[in-house]
Amino acid sequence: MGLSRYSDRAADILGDRSTEPSRPSGWTAPTATAHLDIRMSLPGSKSLTNRELVLAALADSPSLLQRPLRSRDTDLMADALRALGARIEEVPGDGQFGPDWLVTPGELLGSTTIEAGLAGTVMRFVPPVAALALGPVSIDGDEAARRRPMRTTVDSLRALGVDVADDGTGRLPFTIHGTGHVAGGEITIDASASSQFVSGLLLAAARFDSGLTLRHSGERLPSTPHIDMTIAALAARGVAVTQPEVGVWVVPAGAVSGRTVAIEPDLSNAAPFLAAALLAGGTVTIADWPTHTTQVGDLVPELLGRFGATVTRGEDGALTVDGGAGIRNEGTLPAVDLDLSEAGELAPTFVALAALADGPSSITGIGHLRGHETDRLAALVTDLTVLGARITELPDGLAIESVGGVAGLHGGTWQSFDDHRMATTGALLGLVVDGVEIDDIGTTAKTLPEFPELWSALAGSGPGTGSGATA
């Protein structure tokens, strides 16, 4: 399944249909015309939705996913699990962004082909499930997905006795020849490139004959909160993962329980919306911010505080960021030095803020972003340089020089590089820099198809009703 149906949706929102169905025409980011004063709801977490879909397909009884995210990544995951034998049906729910999902597990069968798109969770979570199926399962993805590191997945399955045919590439496409079961046992992997390699194995491990003892051998492990999220999701379904030492996880063999689970809003997707308050000034409120969560996006309020934002929590659970006057109105942002090794997916938003700071900044701990949807470090350097920023790559991050705030930047074409977080970062800068044109806003459909509509509502240049946003 390609990007076309999601790009078409973005084009519908924008009121401009491209002559090339898979790639909408450029989108000029709206600039803020006044202080922000907006309250928003956001769709569910992609990370939680896809973990719960996998566990529901492996469970011993049906599961109901309430307020799940509906996006390209989650639809790809649902389609992959359907191909392996799960029944996933839309049922009425109370969410603003679509129906709930009722998942009924079935016998896992192969002899199928799975399209991973550019979804890291699909390409790394589905192979261990496919190994439990009876018959061959071929997995492929977008052209950019074929450049993403997958050798750890291939090697780990082989270490578990699974036959994987990849022509020696360690990348997509490859075929898993499942026998209906995986022996399990103890294996060692290097997950330095992505914590998804660990989560993918943990999610399926309870269904292995002997469970799994998993050891990480690398010097570093990025985004460990995502592993915590996986462990918490397993615990809620009766699978108790233990960690006898750092970098070792033990999953006992046993049943995975069906359950009803309410998916939290995606807090990482909230990052550019909340950061907008620092640029345009005023306040942005996100409804239903969870009190306790394993989402890495829960670090957003703290990180915005480093840039001078004031953050408050309402009695109704909403979170509000007040950006004061905003840099658009001669406010300033302090320079920062951030280690985002635990929250690399948030880096593009905070690199954008640092590009407008009043002194030199550095953002490190993000070298692994070179292996994401695109090489995000190179992409950020390319796009920000086009707008006039001074930014250079470090071995493990980026160094950003001051250009004197908004006056030091100018408009230009912002390339998305098929990466949703690159597109949203361009929109953020376009809030205060005139003439930022994003070449493909449709890439935001990967995790937030409603982004163009929601962003226009935030900027004051689009409807504020019917989209989860009210001005």
Give the pLDDT confidence of 312-351 residue by residue, as tens digits: 999 999 999 999 999 988 889 999 999 999 999 999 999 9
Given this model, what pLDDT does residue 364 score?
A: 98
Q: Give alpha helix (H) positions in 316-375.
A: 347-355
Burial of 210 by CB count in 10 Å (0-12 exposed, 13-18 middle, 19+ buried)? middle
Closest to 63 measured CA to CA, from 93, 100, 110, 107: 100
- Could you count the other beta carbons within 10 Å of the beta carbon of residue 388? 15
pLDDT, average across residues 133-156 = 96
Average pLDDT over residues 383-394: 97
**Per-residue pLDDT, 172:** 97
pLDDT digits (tens, 9 = 90+) for 262-290: 999 999 999 999 999 999 999 999 999 99
pLDDT over 70 at 9, yes or no: no
Does the pLDDT at position 467 exceed 80? no
- pLDDT reported for residue 222: 87
Using pLDDT thresholds of 50, 70 and 90, give the confidence band for residue 469. low
How many helices, marked H, and strands, marked E, lie in the chain?
A: 13, 23
| pLDDT for the residue numbered 183 | 97
Question: What pLDDT, on the 0 to 100 scale, is given for residue 68?
Answer: 98
pTM given for the model:
0.90
pLDDT digits (tens, 9 = 90+) for 185-239: 999 999 998 999 999 999 999 999 999 999 999 888 988 999 999 999 999 999 9
The DSSP output letter for 44 is: B
Give the closest residue to 447 by CA, choosing from 5, 74, 143, 63: 74
Q: Do 45 and 263 touch, CB atoms closer than 8 A?
A: yes
* Residue 25 binned pLDDT confidence (cut-offs 50, 70, 90): low
Is residue 330 packed enough to be buried (19+ CB in 10 Å), middle (13-18) or exposed (0-12)? exposed
The percentage of residues in the chain with a pLDDT greater than 70, rounded to a whole number, is 92
Nearest to 66 by CA among 87, 84, 45: 45
* Secondary structure class of 109 (helix, strand, coil): strand
HSE of 344 in the Cβ direction (CA atoms, 13 Å)?
Answer: 27
Confidence of residue 259 (pLDDT cuts 50, 70, 90): very high
Residue 466, burial from CB neighbour count under 10 angstroms (0-12, 13-18, 19+): exposed
Q: Are 78 and 70 in contact (CB under 8 A)?
A: no
Categorize the per-residue pLDDT at 139 as very low, low, confident or very high, splitting at 50, 70 and 90.
very high
pLDDT at 429 over 70: yes
* Range of weakest confidence among 106-110, 158-162, 217-221, 444-448: 217-221
Positions marked catalytic: 345
Mean pLDDT of 163-179: 97
Strand (E) or helix (H) holding 87: strand 87-91
With H, G, I as helix, E, B as strand and everything else as coil, classify residue 313. Answer: strand
Q: What is the mean pLDDT of the chain?
A: 92
pLDDT value for 265: 98
